[in-house]
């Protein structure tokens, strides 16, 4: 998958997403536990639709207000929120934390960011792409599964003018990020829990294959690393630093 396939992808089907979620969950934890989890996921969806919860999602609108963009999780339609439960719900990275992570990453590794492509797999409305453009990355790429979020990301990219912007080669690609064709260049891969475990395993296998074909420096900056054991199982990625909020892995 690369940018050229952008408009040819089929619409994301709710039934197919739910079926895939069910097959994964039933295989991993058994049908009884999967059914209980499905009920709790649907109950969470109903709770999340109350006016109080919807109001709360506007709580992170400061970034949007400051930059005149639309990146909050508040204005996401019910269908995309339901799809999000079967893939991974959209939630943008908080801006102060993002900058803290990138600064700490830069200090720890001492790398020259201008040699690196910044890739966010599961990039939603593109907030990280905008924030990453404050750094002199060689290029910035986001991949988002849900068409509505990808379209909003494209609008955000076209109207964004950051005072401290240093990278202008930015794109949002619509597609399944587990099938992403990684660039051959040195890469900083950013992940904020975009997939369930099966997707994360596919992604890491894909990255390992890419590293075997094109050995190069690749770092993974994993925010809120709920599935860190998947990276821990990798033969080519080694953890180099982290806190309770993020973990950084490097190709060996
Ligand atoms: C927690 S949000 C993170 C958003 C963004 N990376 C950020 O940090 O601001 C996860 C995103 O991953 C997307 N996603 C889920 N599965 C995906 C897949 N297979 N391919 C691409 N995007 C996916 C969701 O639609 C959602 O927008």
User: Taking the model in full, what pTM does it have?
Assistant: 0.89
Which residue from 81, 166, 164, 171 is spatially nearest to 126, judged by alpha carbons? 171
Check residue 8 and give its pLDDT: 52
Which residue from 201, 199, 205 is spatially nearest to 182, judged by alpha carbons? 205
Q: Does the CB atom of residue 88 touch ligand 1 within 6 A?
A: yes
Closest ligand 1 atom to Cα of 177: 20
**In contact, 189 and 221? CB cutoff 8 Å:** yes
What would the mean pLDDT of 116-137 be, rounded to a whole number? 98
Residue ranges per structural domain of the chain: 1-252
Name the residue at shortest CA distance from atom 12 of ligand 1. 122
Check residue 46 and give its pLDDT: 85
Q: Does the CB atom of residue 87 touch ligand 1 within 6 A?
A: yes
Task: Quote the CA–CA distance of 31 and 206 in Å, as a whole number.
Answer: 29
Q: Does the CB atom of residue 183 touch ligand 1 within 6 A?
A: no
Chain position carrying tokens 């690393």:
225
**In contact, 221 and 188? CB cutoff 8 Å:** yes
pLDDT mean across residues, the chain: 91
Give the tens place of pLDDT for each residue, 169-225. 999 999 999 999 999 999 999 999 999 898 999 999 999 999 999 999 999 999 999
Name the residue at shortest CA distance from atom 9 of ligand 1. 92
Whether 4 has a pLDDT exceeding 60, the answer reads no
Closest ligand 1 atom to Cα of 88: 15
CATH architecture of 1-252: 3-Layer(aba) Sandwich (3.40)
Task: Quote the CA–CA distance of 88 and 143 in Å, as a whole number.
Answer: 14
Confidence of residue 3 (pLDDT cuts 50, 70, 90): very low
Q: Percent of the chain scored above 70 by pLDDT? A: 95
Q: Does the CB atom of residue 124 touch ligand 1 within 6 A?
A: yes
List of E strands, the chain: 117-121, 139-144, 170-174, 187-192, 218-223, 237-242, 246-251
Tokens encoding 128:
């990280």
Confidence of residue 10 (pLDDT cuts 50, 70, 90): low
């Amino acid at each position: 998958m690369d940018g050229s396939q952008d408009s040819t992808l089929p619409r994301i089907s709710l039934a197919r997403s739910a079926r895939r979620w069910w097959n994964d969950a039933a295989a991993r934890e058994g049908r009884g536990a999967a059914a209980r989890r499905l009920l709790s996921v649907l109950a969470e969806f109903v709770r999340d639709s109350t006016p109080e919860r919807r109001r709360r999602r506007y709580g992170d609108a400061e970034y949007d207000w400051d930059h005149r963009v639309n990146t909050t999780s508040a204005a996401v339609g019910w269908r995309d929120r339901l799809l999000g439960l079967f893939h991974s719900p959209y939630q943008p990275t908080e801006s102060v934390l993002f900058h803290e992570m990138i600064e700490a990453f830069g200090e720890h590794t001492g790398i020259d960011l201008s040699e690196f492509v910044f890739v966010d797999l599961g990039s939603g409305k593109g907030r990280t792409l905008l924030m990453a453009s404050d750094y002199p990355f060689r290029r910035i790429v986001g991949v988002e599964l849900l068409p509505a979020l990808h379209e909003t990301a494209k609008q955000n990219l076209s109207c964004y003018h950051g005072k401290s912007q240093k990278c202008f080669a930015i794109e949002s690609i619509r597609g399944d990020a587990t099938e992403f064709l990684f660039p051959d260049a040195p890469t900083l891969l950013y992940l904020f829990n975009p997939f369930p475990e099966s997707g994360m395993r596919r992604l890491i296998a894909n990255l390992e294959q890419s590293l075997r074909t094109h050995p190069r420096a690749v770092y993974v900056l994993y925010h809120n690393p709920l599935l860190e054991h998947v990276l821990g199982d990798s033969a080519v990625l080694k953890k180099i630093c982290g806190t309770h909020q993020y973990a950084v892995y490097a190709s060996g």
